[in-house]
Structure 1
């Protein structure tokens, strides 16, 4: 299960604080290691000092929670976090939303966008202003009948079993598909989850004319996490989201985890 070693991409802005709170909550649930990292550009000693000062602030926010604090030099924050995560064997990168986005939704800045196109680790994004409420209450997988999502059903079911929380599978009916086929696909996914873990997954078909409207019809529990599988176009063991999944991510009122292709 992801979360054995969590790395938080920290900045002193609001998104950095959201990411820190979420990363700390996840590592607290999984019992995994927590690393807080700030990336600064090469040849910038002043920004290196600022990065270290920011981490001192992050340590104060965490209090007694054990964590490692690292600064790392890279030409881009997304690339730097991905490289650093690989070096320290982190399996989950947590980042916040870009400034200026809608409260309660995920706004992609350059760091998150870069991670969603190259990371070999799972990426967890926090909505703007998100405050964790303790342990996850339910895991929801955005499901489409394709191999990557079928693999994700097994992985997310295993995580739900370990955390002792329900598993939900949702699919979107944007009035362009056959509703009966979508429900048949969900039934097969429920069977996959049952065969791998014995968990009987909940299912839901969200109907509307667009992704944002469809997700507004869905009930979300406090502490719920949404999971998306990588696109079929992703390189092996890399994150990459297709157009529909990207719309789901932006419309989600809960944190979203994106799994790399072939994640095991």
Structure 2
């Protein structure tokens, strides 16, 4: 289960504070290690000092929450977080929404775009204005009948079992597919979750003329986490989201975790 060692990409802005809150919430649930990192560009002594000041703000916000604090020099924040995560053996990178996003949703900036296309670690994104719940309520997997999603069913079911929360599988019907086939595929995925973990997963087909409309009719719990599997086009052990999954991520009202291809 991801969350044994979480690294948060922090800046002293709304997105950074959202990521900090989400990272702390995840490790509170998993009991994992928490590292807060600020990335700054090379050859910028002033920004290096600012990075240290940012971490001081983060430490103050965390209060008694145990965490490590690191600054790291890199030409790109996303690349720096990936390199640093590998060095400290973090299994999850948490970042916030870009400033351009609407409240309660996720906007993709340059940092998250890099991570969502090249990260070897799982990536989790916090919606703008994220307020951490008291605990985890449910794990939801965005399901499409393909090998990466079938593998994710087993992994997310294991995580739900360990956390003691329900598992839900959601498939989108954008009025272009045979709903009967979609429900048959979901039934097979529910059976897979049961056979591998003993969890009886909920299943739902979300209908709409586009992704946003389909997800608006779905109930989301306060402590919900949405999980997406990497695209079949992803390199082994890398994250890569396809066009549909990107739309799901942008339409989500809860944090979203993206698993690398071949995640175990």
Shorter-normalised TM-score: what interval?
A: over 0.9
The answer to whether the aligner puts 1:153 opposite 2:153 as a matched pair is yes
Q: In structure 1, what is the Cα distance between the partners aligned to 2:179 and 2:28?
A: 40
Q: In structure 2, what is the Cα distance between the partners aligned to 1:33 and 1:134?
A: 19
Following TM superposition, by how much is the alpha carbon of 1:67 offset from its aligned partner in structure 2, in angstroms?
0.4
Secondary structure of 2:205's counterpart equals strand
CA RMSD of aligned residues (A): 0.4
TM-score w.r.t. length of structure 1: 1.00
The answer to whether the aligner puts 1:207 opposite 2:212 as a matched pair is no
Report what 2:106 is aligned to. Answer: 106
Gaps of 5+ in 1: none
Report what 1:189 is aligned to. Answer: 189
Number of matched pairs:
264
Report what 1:35 is aligned to. Answer: 35
After TM superposition, the structure 1 = structure 2 runs for residues 119-158 of structure 1, keeping only pairs within 5 Å, are: 119-158=119-158
Following TM superposition, by how much is the alpha carbon of 1:101 offset from its aligned partner in structure 2, in angstroms?
1.0
Q: CA-to-partner distance for each residue in 1:56-103, whole Å, 9 max, x for gaps?
A: 010000001110000000000000000000000000000000102100
Q: CA-to-partner distance for each residue in 1:13-54, whole Å, 9 max, x for gaps?
A: 100000000000001110000000000000001000000000
Secondary structure of 1:175's counterpart equals coil
Secondary structure of 2:118's counterpart equals coil
After TM superposition, the structure 1 = structure 2 runs for residues 1-264 of structure 1, keeping only pairs within 5 Å, are: 1-264=1-264
Task: Flag as ranges the 4+ runs of structure 1 deviating above 3 A.
Answer: none
Q: In structure 2, what is the Cα distance between the partners aligned to 1:28 and 1:217?
A: 30
Q: In structure 2, what is the Cα distance between the partners aligned to 1:54 and 1:209?
A: 43
Secondary structure of 1:236's counterpart equals coil
Q: In structure 2, what is the Cα distance between the partners aligned to 1:257 and 1:68?
A: 22
Q: CA-to-partner distance for each residue in 1:218-247, whole Å, 9 max, x for gaps?
A: 000001000000000000000000000000
Q: In structure 2, what is the Cα distance between the partners aligned to 1:181 and 1:19?
A: 38
Q: In structure 1, what is the Cα distance between the partners aligned to 2:134 and 2:32?
A: 15
Gaps of 5+ in 2: none
Q: In structure 1, what is the Cα distance between the partners aligned to 2:196 and 2:94?
A: 28
Q: In structure 2, what is the Cα distance between the partners aligned to 1:160 and 1:136?
A: 10
